[in-house]
Structure 1
Amino acid sequence: MFQENNVTHVDGPASKMYGRWSLFLGGAGLILVLILMLDSAPYKNEDLDFNVNNTVRSGSLILPTNTQSPRALMIFVHGDGAMGRSAFGYYYPLWQRLAKQGIASYSWDKAGVGGSGGNWLEQNMQNRADEIHQAVAKLRKVPHLAGVPIGLIGFSQAGWVMPKALKNSSQLSFAVFVSTPINWLKQSAFLTQTRLQKEGVTTREKNQQLAQARQVSQLISQGDDHNAYIEFLSTAHPDGIESAMSPERYGFVQKNIGADALEDLQSVKQPLFVAFGNHDSNVNVADNVTQYQQIFASNETQLKLKVYKNANHTLLKNSEFGHLSPSLWWLIKLSLWEEDGFSEQFVDDVMLWLNSQIQQLALKKPESIGAHE
């Protein structure tokens, strides 16, 4: 990732001590940046937990300091992986901008992460949608949130979670979908193709690996256990054993490999903002854009969809963040750039759209906003 050119390296105690001090200063610098950023943030962070099947979900309620009564509340819905409530700091700039607009945010540690009990690898998409409903029930008990509009903002894998939570719900008023695929198997095939293309494999090898990937998907879909999966890899692709899925990950994929948001999206009545980046190497943007447009063709005003330039899967600027993965330096850079790290206009567009939705709801009868199911 990083290259060192024209650098003279000197071995010995002095250089080792210098290295330790550099690491210490780098860490101290990060802590200082985060403290300054949080001190200047236009919000206060309150712990707010809720329960799901007798296990706790530990979360943070982000309240704007410029108002006693937030205009709305956005629930953050994680993508794949062991995500804590801030998604490695990725949410901080969004929380900050929402707070400036008088909008509260809420996010929690995934099951088994941070302060939350359970295990996210044991969940399916419906389980995660049920979590959202439990969170809403808890939030409605907070006095100054009882009647505010509640929306969702979700990323990547959340595209299979949010439609399940939105459909048939009068508690949720709108949603922002960021880099969200519709079909799991299509998404998986695209990821495999992208990886092979980056690796520069020959056409013959590419075709072989794609065929093997399809066979693995078939094994998983038909319910074969992890041992059968490992046995297949040891015969068809021995080199792939080292990178094979763990039994826990295999079980998670098996629970969710049939995920397809099509039918759920067709039942969604709330307005949606859908955003993609033109440098997304995780999602087939063109294919998913077409699918969203087809789903909402009969009610085009319900959907606002935009593909952003110079944007990767996270909607961060590809030119600045495309070569980085979440790490110490990624967090330092994002902390310094704040919302300017996102693709041009993305954050502004989301805020403009949210303000429009909130204003439209305000014109309706007050009792219709946040009415209980």
Structure 2
Amino acid sequence: MNNNFFSHLFLWLSLIILPEMVFSQSNDFTIQDVKFESQGITLAGSILKPINPVAAVVIVHGSDPVKRELEFAKRLAKEGVAVLTYDKRGVGESGGVYVGPSVGTNNIDTTNLNLLSDDANEAVKTFRTFLKNKKIPIGLIGFSQAGWIIPITASKNSQIEFMVLFSCPTITTLEQLRFQFYTNGNSTFWENHTDADAREHTKNDPDKYQFVETDPKISLNTLSIPGLWLFGEKDIQIPVKLCIEQLNTFKVQGKPFEYTLFPTLGHNTSSIDITTPFDISIEWIKQKALSIKMSKALIK
């Protein structure tokens, strides 16, 4: 009886003493609620920490009004990768205003992309303070629109040591829009068009939007951190072959950029139903994290 009483008392005291950010735990990792400031607003998210993480990543959103990517984060955490994922500004528990097509605004305006990169940058700085082992390499992982946000963020913050990009463009925002208008959501687009058709349209079609374009190559030119892009050849959101051409140019210049092309996949290369791209990204993260740690050890 006494043992039960003291056991319950200890549990009760533990719940009081532990930070209120801790709300869940599994055999593989803990989950903690966090909040951080960015450009005058408060963003809310979760940190998932394995017992001995091999690496750490902040998840960067695509264009949709999405909350924290907990399911994807759990997949990463189960593989030994610590994760910070947060509700996009204006979504879920995060403050601010969501900007995007679903509310009639242009979410790839340069101002908005830079604002979202500020959010990702603050997430990285916050995450670093929560990692007990300061030698753990920290990177960015994201989807689609993150292809513009991640390079901008990485160019601002030297703490970011690698990046993984699922179906992310390496072309300008205007070029991507031209291609997207051309495919018009047609899932059979590639049955009736060639890469040459898509390339011609992407390069020369008159713009339906008038705004300052964002070119990820400007930021990528400044980076020397490893990057992995995962593309689906059937993608109708971004012209994959043109994006790969840009990456090949960077590779010739000695940039540590890699990519993998999946002939049967479309824009969703991070699907839980088709795990090969995710599995490849995990192995790549582990290899790069080990290389980064070894490099740091040699410098010392």
Aligned length: 252
User: What's 1:311 paired with?
Assistant: 265
Q: Distance in 2 between matches of 1:71 and 1:316?
A: 21
Distance 1:299 1:85, change over 3 A: same
Structure showing the higher helix proportion among its residues: 1
Superposition pairs of residues 286-301 of structure 1, within 5 angstroms: 286-299=241-254
Which residue type is aligned with residue 356 of structure 1?
Q
Tell whether the 8 Å contact from 1:50 to 1:135 is kept in structure 2 after alignment.
yes
**Alignment partner for residue 176 of structure 2, among 170, 187, 210?**
187
Query: Once the two structures are superposed, what CA deviation does each residue of 1:206-240 show, in whole Å capped at 9, x if it has no partner?
Result: xxxx9xx83532xx23xxxxxxxxxxxxxxxxxxx
Q: Distance in 2 between matches of 1:116 and 1:367?
A: 41
User: What's 2:90 paired with?
Assistant: 112
**Alignment partner for residue 140 of structure 1, among 128, 148, 172?**
128
Q: CA deviation at 1:41?
A: 7.6
Q: Distance in 1 between matches of 2:25 and 2:291?
A: 33
Moved runs in structure 1, 4+ residues, more than 6 A?
38-41
Query: Once the two structures are superposed, what CA deviation does each residue of 1:99-134 show, in whole Å capped at 9, x if it has no partner?
Result: 233211111111111111111328521112222221
Q: CA deviation at 1:198?
A: 6.3
1:342 aligns with 2:274: yes
Tell whether the 8 Å contact from 2:174 to 2:207 is kept in structure 1 after alignment.
no
Which residue type is aligned with residue 182 of structure 2?
Q
Q: Distance in 2 between matches of 1:189 and 1:73?
A: 35
User: What's 1:80 paired with?
Assistant: 63
Which one has more relative contact order, counting CA pairs under 8 Å at least 6 apart?
Answer: 1
User: What's 2:48 paired with?
Assistant: 62
Tell whether the 8 Å contact from 1:57 to 1:115 is kept in structure 2 after alignment.
yes
Q: In percent, how many aligned pairs have the same letter? A: 27
Tell whether the 8 Å contact from 1:168 to 1:267 is kept in structure 2 after alignment.
no
Q: TM-score, normalised by structure 1?
A: 0.62
Gaps of 5+ in 1: 1-37, 201-209, 222-256, 318-338
The two structures, once aligned, show a CA RMSD in angstroms of 2.7
Superposition pairs of residues 221-260 of structure 1, within 5 angstroms: 221=211, 257-260=212-215
Structure showing the higher strand proportion among its residues: 2
Query: Once the two structures are superposed, what CA deviation does each residue of 1:3-39 show, in whole Å capped at 9, x if it has no partner?
Result: xxxxxxxxxxxxxxxxxxxxxxxxxxxxxxxxxxx99
Query: Once the two structures are superposed, what CA deviation does each residue of 1:305-332 show, in whole Å capped at 9, x if it has no partner?
Result: 1111322211157xxxxxxxxxxxxxxx
Structure 1 SS opposite 2:89: coil
User: What's 1:326 paired with?
Assistant: none
1:43 aligns with 2:32: no
Tell whether the 8 Å contact from 1:41 to 1:96 is kept in structure 2 after alignment.
no
Q: Distance in 1 between matches of 2:25 and 2:137?
A: 28
User: What's 2:206 paired with?
Assistant: 214
1:171 aligns with 2:149: no
Q: Distance in 2 between matches of 1:188 and 1:195?
A: 10
User: What's 2:77 paired with?
Assistant: 99
Which residue type is aligned with residue 101 of structure 1?
E
Structure 1 SS opposite 2:280: helix
Q: Distance in 2 between matches of 1:196 and 1:113?
A: 25
Structure 1 SS opposite 2:220: helix
Structure 2 SS opposite 1:166: helix
Tell whether the 8 Å contact from 2:270 to 2:278 is kept in structure 1 after alignment.
no
Distance 1:366 1:118, change over 3 A: farther
Q: CA deviation at 1:152?
A: 0.5
Gaps of 5+ in 2: 1-23, 100-106, 190-200
Tell whether the 8 Å contact from 1:77 to 1:152 is kept in structure 2 after alignment.
yes
Q: Distance in 2 between matches of 1:170 and 1:196?
A: 38
User: What's 1:271 paired with?
Assistant: 226
Which residue type is aligned with residue 306 of structure 1?
T
User: What's 2:13 paired with?
Assistant: none
Q: CA deviation at 1:54?
A: 2.7
Q: CA deviation at 1:304?
A: 1.4
Which residue type is aligned with residue 220 of structure 2?
L
Q: Distance in 2 between matches of 1:196 and 1:148?
A: 41
Q: CA deviation at 1:157?
A: 0.6
Tell whether the 8 Å contact from 1:57 to 1:108 is kept in structure 2 after alignment.
yes
Superposition pairs of residues 327-338 of structure 1, within 5 angstroms: none
User: In terms of mean alpha carbon deviation, does 76-85 or 39-48 score higher?
Assistant: 39-48
Q: TM-score, normalised by structure 2?
A: 0.76
Distance 1:147 1:97, change over 3 A: same
Q: CA deviation at 1:196?
A: 7.5
